[in-house]
Homo-oligomer: A and B are copies of this chain.
Amino acid sequence: MAARPRPGSDAGIPSAASGAGELFQYLRDGKPRTKAELAELSSLARSTITLRIDALLASGLLAPYGEAASTGGRPPQRFALNGAGHVVLGIDLGASHAAVAAVDLAGKVLEETSVASDIADGPSVVLDRVTDLAHELLQRIGLADDQVVGIGIGVPGPVEHSTGRPANPPIMPGWHEFDIPAHLSRTFPVPVLVDNDVNVMALGEHVTSWSGVDHLLYVKVATGIGAGIITNRRLTRGALGTAGDLGHVRVVDADDSVVCRCGNVGCLEALAAGPAVAARLRAAGLDIDSPQDVVDSVLRGDVAALQAVREAGRSIGSVLATCVSLLNPSVIVIGGSLSLAGEYLIAGVREVVYQRSLPLATSRLRIVAATTGDRAGILGAAALVLDEVLSPEAVDALVDRQRQPARASG
C-alpha cells in the first residue's frame, strides 16, 4: 500500500475546497455537467459540490457552460473544463523527426507541426529546435509561453522516467543521462515528463481509441520490436523501466542459425523486425534496401514480401501468445513502420495467438492495427503530462495557490 502524499493548505484551517481536484476528475473529459449530475456521479453533498466548483472556477480550470434543459423555473447552470487559456506541449522525437503539438486540457490538439530532425544532432541542438517549434505553434494560436502548463516528451530510447534522463540509448549519441526536463524548463518552467517512444505511443493509442479499456498491449514493429503495457489503466514500466522489451525474447521453434546483435540466437527482433525481414527478402534476390521497401513491396502485392511479413507476424504472435496468457489484455494494438504493410502482419500475429492461447483468454481479445499512425507520439506525450498536471493532487495545489494570492513563495 503506497501512502499518497499530497500538498496541503497551510493556511491554518483545513481547506473547504480540499477535494476539488478529485471532483475535477469527473470533468476532465470536457463534457459540461450540472451540480446535480456531479452530485450523482460523486456521491458528494450538494453544498460540498458548490464549494469545490467555486474553487475550481476561481482557479480558471473550470468555466460556466450554457444552460441545461430544465423542467421549469430557472434552468440549472452547467460547468465544463476550461480548455482555453492553458495548454500542454506533446513532443515526439524520433530517429529522424521531431513533432510538437499544442494540446488543450481536454486532450484536443489545437495545432501541430513536424520537421526532419536528426536525433544524433545531440540534446542541446534538438531540444532548442523543439523549443523554437513550440514558440511558432503558440504564436500561431495566439498563446503566450506562460500559458503552457506542462510538457510531455517521447524519445527513441530507454529513459529513467523518474528523472527524465535517457539511459544508454543506443541510437541517441550524446543523450546518455542528459537532463531533458532541466533543459526545457529554462524556457518553460513547468513539469516536464519524459518516456520512451513505445510507452508514449501506447498511451496515445489508449487515450485516442481505447479509453474504456483497462488492459492494453501496444506493440511497435519497426527497426526494433517493443511493447507498451497498460494494466489497470496505467502504464507499467517495471522495476528498472525495461518492461515491454520484447526484442530479445526467444521465439518458439526459431531458426537457430540466425544470430541476433545481442549475441543470442532465436531472438524475436532478429526474425521479425523490419531489417530482418528486409535482409531475408534481399537474400532471396529481391531489390530491397530498407524496411520501407518491404512495406512498398507488400503494398504492390509482391508474394515473397507478403509471405515474409506474414511469417514475421507469426513469430511476433508466438511471443504475444505468452503475453496474452500472462496479462490477459482485451486489446493488442500493432503499430510501427512495418505495420503499414497492412493486414498481412496482423494476420500472422492473430494466427498464432489464437492457436496458442486458452479459449477464455482470447474470447474477447481484439488484435488490431494502430489508428493514430505517426500522431501516436504527440498524443501520448500530451496524455502523459495531462495525467500529471490534472491529477487530484496537482489541481488541489493549484486551487490552494489561487486562494492565497498574497503569500509569497513558500
Contacts and interface: CB of A to CB of B under 8 A. Distances in A.
Size class of the A contact interface (CB-based, 8 Å): 35 or more
B227 A364 contact: no
B364 A240 contact: yes
Nearest to A26: B3
Contact of A2 (B4, B233, B246, B262): B233
Nearest to A248: B358
A356 interface: yes
B233 A231 contact: no
A182 interface: no
A390 B252 CA distance: 45
Interface string A221-240: 00000010101111011111
Contacts of A47: 12-14
The majority secondary structure among interface residues of chain A is: loop
A69 interface: no
Copies of this protein in the assembly total 2
A387 B262 CA distance: 42
Q: Which of A44, A215, A323, A326 has the most CB of B within 10 A?
A: A326
Contact of A19 (B18, B44, B227, B253): B18
A240 B326 contact: no
Q: Which of A9, A28, A239, A328 has the most CB of B within 10 A?
A: A239
Contacts of A253: 252-253
Contact of A264 (B9, B43, B327, B356): B356
Contact of A42 (B8, B215, B328): B8
28 contacts: A3-B41, A4-B25, A6-B43, A7-B43, A9-B45, A9-B48, A11-B45, A12-B47, A19-B19, A229-B327, A231-B231, A232-B232, A238-B327, A240-B330, A240-B361, A240-B363, A240-B364, A242-B328, A243-B327, A243-B328, A244-B326, A248-B358, A249-B322, A250-B322, A252-B252, A252-B253, A322-B322, A323-B326
